[in-house]
Structure 1
Amino acid sequence: MIRALCFCCLATLSSVSGAETVPTNQNIEVKPFTAEYSILHKGSSVGKGIRALTQLANGQIQYSYQTEIEWLIFSDSRKETSVVTIENGHVTPVHYQFNREGTGRDKYYEWQYDIANNKATDIKKKQTIDVEFPFNIQDKLSYHLQNRLNLIANPEQKLFVYPVISSSGKIKNHVYQYEGEEEIMLPYGLVKAIKLKREVIEKKRITYAWFAPELNYLLVKLYQAKGGVEQFEAQLTSVSINNDKQANPIAN
């Protein structure tokens, strides 16, 4: 249970998105930001997460998410980074890296993607494989950014489907459905949010994610249960845009 909690805190925060849409052909801007989250288990704080977007000098985008968790005798530190290009509202992954340290087995993955030529290189194993990339392929973190861009472009969208390449090189669709709108209270403050749901029947896992229009569809809350038992919850505590910390006036 402890291992499941910490794995999902990172994997789901970084994978709960995607959309069944073609590129928007819109010049959608997501400004550089840093968002902090409190990670909860059964109502108690067990750690924090930081999600950030940075503009690189070569014009590419670096999108990252990291967590630090301490729970009883268990510790877990993870960082996931995706370097992408964005053109006409379409995210294309270029480089993906994942590192996990703490209680249990450490993990490290690093991949380089050549989408145009259907090549993927496992940096750790120094091995390049042929992959028939489907349209709108994403890595395990980049598709969350694509989801945000699609929500900005089309807030009325109801179904989200993305082909995602895993850390082993396999591709699997991630599907989310629109669940309505809610007003939720977070450490950040009171926000109105769009709620999405993902259900993985074979694993008896349900994930809910909330995105706030007033924060340009930033992920503000995440909740996951497996077999009817809560695994974790993540809630936005603060966000800085272009190094300018944003405060919710309702919370002050």
Structure 2
Amino acid sequence: MLKKWLLAALAAGSLSALSPVYASHGEQLASPLVSPFTAQYTILRKSKAVGSATRELEYLENGLAKYSYHTDIEWMIFSDRRAETSIVEVIGGKVTPNHYTYNREGTGKDKYYEWQYDVKANQATNVKTKRTRDIDFPTNIQDKLSYHLQNRLNLIANDGQAQKPQHFVYPVVGTSGKIKNYVYEYDGEEELMLPYGLVKTIRLKREVVDKKRVTYAWFAPELDYLMVKLFQQKGGVEQFQAQLSSLTVN
């Protein structure tokens, strides 16, 4: 049971804050819509802190953006450390994945994945095996981390609109090369007291029926829709939650 919730907690790894966003390709150095940042989260299990997570965004000199997510959990004799990175191109509010890496170490089996994407050519290369496969990418394809950035951009774009979307759908290419739709639905507004402080949020919900898993994510408009809380349950039982503890914006 412990192993299952640990895996779920970090597989959600996607916790979710996001990467860089520019007004247009030609203005990348001048007008980022989301500034570089470092966000720290406390990971809790049944209200007890069991680890931490860090999200960082930086802009690279080659015009691309790097978004990374790291987690570190220690509980009794169990440990779990994960690092996830997505290199993306962002043009006019549209995120295109370029390079994705995932590394997991700790109790149980270690895992490492690395993929290179050429979306225009409809190709994905497994860097570990050096094998390239043809994939018919949909227009708004994302990797397992970059879709959080696209979600944040969509929330920013819809801010202030009288009629807000009730659903967000993201086609995501997984570490097997298969594509699945990740669907989020608007689930209301809520004011939260977090380690970071008091924030007003909107809440999105994602339900995976066949796995009996439900995930809730809270985003703060006053922080440019940074994800400030994540809660996941399976079969009606809490697996974990993560709460924003500090934020540094550069």
Q: Which amino acid aligns with 2:10?
A: L
Aligned to 2:79: 75
SS at match of 2:120: helix
Q: What is the alpha-carbon distance in structure 2 between the residues aligned to residue 170 and residue 130 of structure 1?
A: 11
Query: Which residue, 181, 189, 199 being the options, matches 1:181?
Result: 189
The equivalent of 1:163 in structure 2 is 171
Deviation at 1:3, TM superposition (A): 2.2
1:225 lines up with 2:233 in the alignment:
yes
Deviation per CA, 1:145-191: give whole Å up to 9, x if none: 11001100113232110000001111000000000110011000010
Partner residue of 2:218 out of 201, 210, 216:
210
Unaligned stretches of 5+ in structure 1? 19-24, 243-252
| Distance in 2 (alpha carbons) for counterparts of 1:43 and 1:171 | 35
- Kept in 2, the 8 Å contact 1:17–1:147? The answer is no
Output aligned runs, 1:101-250, within 5 Å.
Answer: 101-155=105-159, 156-242=164-250
Distance in 1 of aligned mates of 2:169 and 2:137: 15
TM-score (norm 2): 0.91
Aligned length: 237
> 1:70-102 CA deviation, whole Å, 9 max, x = no partner?
012110000000000000100000000000000
- Amino acid in structure 2 at the alignment position of 1:73: I
1: CA distance, partners of 2:121 / 2:230: 36
- Amino acid aligned to 1:124: K
Kept after mapping to 2: 8 A contact 1:17/1:146: no
Q: Which structure 2 residues correspond to residues 3-18 of structure 1 after superposition, within 5 A?
A: 3-14=3-14
Distance 1:208 1:216 in 2: 18
Q: How far apart in 1 are the matches of 2:170 and 2:3?
A: 26
Question: Higher relative CO (CA 8 A, sep ≥ 6), structure 1 or 2?
Answer: 1
| Matching residue within 90, 95, 100 for 2:99 | 95
- When the two structures are superposed, what TM-score results if normalisation uses the length of structure 1? 0.90
The counterpart of 1:84, out of the listed 85, 88, 101, is 88
Counterpart-to-counterpart distance in 2, 1:75 and 1:68: 8
Report the AA paired with residue 79 of structure 1.
A
Q: Distance in 1 between matches of 2:107 and 2:86?
A: 25
**1:81 touches 1:98 (CA, 8 Å); kept in 2?**
yes
> For 2:34 and 2:17, how far apart are their aligned partners in 1?
16
Cα drift, residue 2 of structure 1 = 1.9
Report the RMSD for the aligned CA atoms in angstroms: 1.8
Measure, in 1, the Cα distance between the counterparts of 2:184 and 2:222.
21
Contact 1:17 1:174 in 2 (8 A): no
